[in-house]
Structure 1
């Protein structure tokens, strides 16, 4: 747990002349673990941090306020809709979308600031390199590296109006830039937390996501887990993390398979509730 006074001390390192005309928004619910560090790092590059909290019971609100963020309370609207609400609260049109476990590295902060030195950047959307920092060992420089479109002009794109999905589509003809600096992703604190997180995410995706036919879902329940494992272990490079990588690949594959299992259960329940035909 991070203390509010720790957030205050980190916030004091921020200098306003470094800020770019960007609003950073963060959605929170019981995110005391890293929030002070996340806000302090964001304030090294943006001139506003907006936190949309959906009812935290821990020290999230106190930590955020101590770190200099603007707090807004909003009951959970769903993944995409909560982001759209957050976008609307920002005073700048260029926004930085951060999760409460993502820390802007000094290199990335310098790169973003450089984009705005001569005015608005040349492109409306930029992908950031998401670098996972595991609870043990070094950051995964060549494992499960992903790029996410997190710095963008809300006049060009918006988060989707959807309960489950929160990644926007790029309009035809719009060019996307890619930055080299790392966005450090402290995505889980231990194996138990990863299992809990995947269980929660799979429930949301199964409940609110787009469904395919019952036969297709059943086929995935029966046969897809090995393919999910291969995807994480080989294609995303978790084999490079040794036995620990094997453990995480198996859990990640299980989390993806859980979405199929829960979706199939939901379809069976919907069929039972439907009135009989004829």
Structure 2
């Protein structure tokens, strides 16, 4: 198959104010993906004009969690085979070649494929820190898989064992520490709400242990120290994440307790 021949595949993504990375992402798939679906939840920056430049089919949907939002996007695809991308994930040239090669002689065999993903953090690709070539299932046949219906940290589940590709998916998630803190605030709130629905206990007394365990695991056991300053900051902020998440859960549980009516004392 010619490199620039469109393959029968839909790229789907969800967006909200993604102008920083969206153009770069779309440039990595536009030449070869037959269909690009973008589901936006109310962008006020240049996200939509950028998407229009690449002939994306644009839908609006109020955001109600990452899992449901991405599944809605998958449902709008023209093709059964879909590639689910975040608006900050770039398909490397090698990965694009591998994907197009899968369709050279018909449709792929497995129900889905795991793609190795590398994270860019503070301007550096993390080679260690538990972020090097992390496999994520993103390419799949929607008749044989779906997006888990959770508010945050969703994944794609497919029938059987997914195949694997070797080309890299480049995750350029955080433009700055400010971006990271903003996303951490959003994600920890969604995670806390998800845990509250499942009646999970906060166990606030374990916060120190959560922080220490996560930091040691990422910085020492997974080699974050070898990633220099970005590795240190990734380990530090990743260790703060569960502390904030469980603290928000505790806060929600306290608010529920305070909202309950006080018992009425009857004196006879």
Distance 2:260 2:153 in 1: 27
Indicate if the aligned counterparts of 1:44 and 1:109 stay in contact, CA closer than 8 A. no
Partner of 1:7: none
Higher Cα radius of gyration: 2
Structure 2, unmatched stretches of 5+, are none
TM-score, length basis structure 2: 0.89
- The correspondence of residues 1-278 of structure 1 with structure 2, limited to 5 A, is 17-137=4-124, 139-143=125-129, 144-145=131-132, 146-171=134-159, 174-209=160-195, 211=198, 213-214=200-201, 217-275=203-261
For residues 64-99 of structure 1, what are the alpha-carbon distances to aligned partners after superposition, in whole Å with 9 as ceiling and x for unaligned? 111221111111121111011101110100110100
After TM superposition, the structure 1 stretch with the greater mean CA deviation from structure 2, 38-47 or 178-187, is 38-47
Indicate if the aligned counterparts of 1:195 and 1:255 stay in contact, CA closer than 8 A. no
Indicate if the aligned counterparts of 1:127 and 1:150 stay in contact, CA closer than 8 A. yes
Distance 1:136 1:165, change over 3 A: closer
For residues 109-135 of structure 1, what are the alpha-carbon distances to aligned partners after superposition, in whole Å with 9 as ceiling and x for unaligned? 000111111111111110111111234
Q: CA deviation at 1:211?
A: 4.4
Distance 1:119 1:20 in 2: 10
Distance 1:152 1:219, change over 3 A: farther
Q: Secondary structure at the match of 1:158?
A: strand
Measured on the aligned residues, the alpha-carbon RMSD in Å equals 2.1
Instruction: Work out the number of aligned pairs and report it.
Output: 260
